[in-house]
Amino acid sequence: MKVVLLQDVPKLGRKGQVVNVSDGYARNFLMPKGLAKEATPEVLKELERQKQEEQRKFEEQKKESEALLSELHKHVFKIKAKAGEGGKLFGSLTNANIAEEITKVIGKEFDRKWVVLDSPIKSLGLYDITVKLPAGVSGKVKVEVEKE
């Protein structure tokens, strides 16, 4: 019997896949637990429509992310922090501080999870910071840490 998986099933397949399983396995295990539906023409059409919708949303999100990245490249984000002699900061700057500054400058919400830092910034200077935006778009932005 051909079924469409509604969730990922270990050793069988991923959500949305059409797989061939024995009738008993489908009727006694997969269907009662809500893991699969019988692959009727209507269900297959609905599955195809959902895949097209997901692809359209992904493309739209990718365009938005690319536009945001090009906006970020236009700026050098300046963060003022208290520092001692030799340019060492009192404390450190994290991805949350950088995301907050980016949000202030561009006027759009910028999630701190998008900022990738190997370790917190602990000294003054100009840094190239990696940002990973939704839909697999990534790039570098310039952040300058200045003495307050």
Domain check: are 38 and 99 in the same one?
no
Domain check: are 26 and 89 in the same one?
no
User: What pLDDT is recorded for position 17?
Assistant: 94
Q: For residue range 24-73, what is the model confidence (pLDDT) as tens digits? A: 999 999 999 999 999 999 999 999 999 999 999 999 999 999 999 999 99
CA 140 – CA 145 distance, rounded (Å)? 16
Give DSSP secondary structure letters for 51-112: HHHHHHHHHHHHHHHHHHHHHHHT-EEEEEE-B-GGGEEEEEE-HHHHHHHHHHHHSS---G
Domain check: are 50 and 66 in the same one?
no
Q: For residue range 129-144, what is the model confidence (pLDDT) as tens digits? A: 999 999 999 999 999 9
Domain check: are 10 and 80 in the same one?
no
Residue 104 belongs to domain with CATH number? 3.10.430.100
Query: Residue 6's CB: how many other CB atoms inside 10 A?
Result: 16
Residue 16 belongs to domain with CATH number? 3.40.5.10
- Domain residues for the domain of 109 are 62-147
User: Do 4 and 47 form a contact (C-beta atoms < 8 A)?
Assistant: yes
Of 36, 60, 84, the one marking the end of a domain is 60
Domain check: are 7 and 73 in the same one?
no
Domain check: are 12 and 73 in the same one?
no
Query: pTM for this one?
Result: 0.76
Count of domains for the chain? 2
Domain check: are 83 and 106 in the same one?
yes
Of 19, 43, 60, the one marking the end of a domain is 60
Q: For residue range 82-123, what is the model confidence (pLDDT) as tens digits? A: 999 889 999 999 999 999 999 999 999 999 999 999 999 999
Domain check: are 142 and 107 in the same one?
yes
Domain check: are 120 and 71 in the same one?
yes
